[in-house]
Amino acid sequence: MPGRSFAKLGVLIIVMALAATACGSSNETESTAPGTLLPFAMVQDTEFVFEADPTDPNKGIFRVKTTEPMICTIVWGETEEFGNFNNSLAMNGTGIIDHDVILPGAHSGTTYFFRLQGSTADGNQFRSETGTFTIPEPEDGLASDDHMSDDDMALHGPNLAIGTAVLDTSSVFGNGWKAENAVDDDTNTEWATLGDGDSGFITIDLGSTHEVVGVEFLTRSMLDGTATTETYTVTVDGGEPLGPFPAGNPAEPRFSPIQFSGREIRFDVSSSSGGNVGAIEVKVFAPAG
């Protein structure tokens, strides 16, 4: 499930950060009194792993297992002031053991500082030392968000969906996962539903009638493969559904050529792995030139 900065978890992270500041140096970790900050190594079961996200060259993935269920957050950034925090998509406000965390905006080849902090059900708080990581280059060589070939670009013009109005959606998981994230031209944000599975949909308004030559649906997904849209349909101005078409991702957008003229475009999830389906971006392309 979506696991980043929704209200309840955000409050917990702030509390943890304040506690970390107040507790001082690691020399005080011998005590287990309430509020004492303990070394994260006490609950760490595997090494910290940082790797490239194979579906998006503009994201990294952090993985670690803990010896008991925990609520954890990784703070990271290009300086020791960090500036970013993320937690496991599967956490949803409860402690877990397998912490697989997407790091939006963590580019391969760049060195970042990081620190991990978290708490267990008994109220004990843990924090790692500040370290560094570098996301390795993905195996396919993708290292930026500009991976569309000249042949792909020749098929169509600009994406008409950027900044358009969202008329309707099947549901929204929360404020951090609003439907407008699917048309903001930012692969670091996502629209996620509240468990709609194959019933998920989003309708956008292009503002006026346009000629269209193709579409894309960049699916969001969980690291365990759930919440992945496999195919989708497109309905134009309330007509008959067109498709299904294969969904893609930022690394492989899977442009689907289709010609129509319309204004209100509805994307329906046709088949999926279930759960909180949604889209990183939905795209509607004008003719080339």
95-147 pLDDT, tens digit each? 999 999 999 889 889 999 999 999 999 889 999 999 999 998 766 544 333 44
Tens digit of each residue's pLDDT (9 = 90 or more) over 217-236: 999 998 888 899 999 999 99
Residue ranges of the chain that CATH labels 2.60.120.260? 150-285
Task: Tell whether the torsion through CA atoms of 77, 80, 82 and 87 is positive or negative.
Answer: positive
Tens digit of each residue's pLDDT (9 = 90 or more) over 183-213: 999 998 999 999 999 999 999 999 999 999 9
The model carries a pTM of: 0.72
What integer is the mean pLDDT of 15-42? 52
What integer is the mean pLDDT of 252-275? 96
Q: Are 253 and 282 in contact (CB under 8 A)?
A: no
Choose among 138, 113, 141, 287: nearest CA to 214. Answer: 287
Half-sphere exposure of 93 (CA within 13 A, CB side): 6
Q: Please say whether the structural domain 7-134 has been given the CATH code 2.60.40.1220.
A: no
Helix, strand, coil percentages in the chain from 3-state DSSP, rounded to 5: 15, 45, 45
CATH code that applies to domain 150-285:
2.60.120.260
What integer is the mean pLDDT of 54-67? 90
C-alpha distances (whole Å) from 217 to each of 101, 144, 266, 269, 282 are 23, 19, 11, 10, 5
Choose among 102, 83, 82: nearest CA to 91. Answer: 102
Residue ranges of the chain that CATH labels 2.60.40.10? 7-134
| Plot region of 67 (φ>0 → left; ψ -120 to 50 → alpha; else → beta) | alpha
In the numeric block, the tokens 């980043």 are attached to: 4
DSSP 26: G
Model confidence at 5: pLDDT above 80: no
Cα–Cα distance measured from residue 280 to residue 179, given in angstroms and rounded to the nearest whole number? 10
